[in-house]
Every structure is written in C-alpha cells, then in structure tokens.
C-alpha cells in the first residue's frame, strides 16, 4: 500500500472512531432516562431456567437475587 493511501485510511479510521464516540456521548448525556437507584422496585418479569422451567421474579421476592 502506498504511503498516501495508508495515511488516508488511518485518518478515516481515527475520524470514524471520534465521531462514533461523540455521538455515543451526546445520546447518553442528553437522554432523559433515569437510572435505577439502590432500593428502587424492579419490574416483575419471567425467565426460563436451564431445566426448561419458568420462574417469575415475584415468586422469589423473599430471596436475594443477583443479576
């Protein structure tokens, strides 16, 4: 590859990364979505276990759950 072509490719990649980081930061900083805090009530959802059984969060509300 020629030096000029490599330089253009490098600059293009660097600019792309900078633009993507800028867009990501913009969307994260301007988002109105509130993050969950410790003590907030979680939504009740249902998942399937490895055995194929179905379990709901409200079924295990007295146990400690780690996600």
In a domain? residue 60 = no
In a domain? residue 22 = yes
Stretch 2-9: mean pLDDT, rounded?
93
In a domain? residue 49 = no
Q: Which has more confidence, 66 or 2?
A: 2
Residues 14-65 pLDDT 10s: 999 999 999 999 988 887 777 778 888 878 889 998 999 998 888 876 666 6
In a domain? residue 48 = no
Domain extent for 5:
1-31
In a domain? residue 16 = yes
In a domain? residue 17 = yes
Number of domains in the chain: 1
Q: Which has more confidence, 10 or 30?
A: 10
C-beta separation of 55 from 63 below 8 A: no
């Amino acid at each position: 590859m020629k030096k000029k072509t490599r330089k253009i490719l490098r600059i293009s990649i660097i600019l792309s990364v900078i633009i993507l980081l800028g867009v990501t930061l913009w969307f994260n900083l301007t988002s109105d979505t509130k993050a969950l805090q410790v003590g907030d009530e979680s939504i009740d959802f249902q998942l399937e276990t490895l055995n194929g059984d179905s379990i709901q969060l409200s079924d295990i509300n007295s146990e400690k759950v780690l996600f």
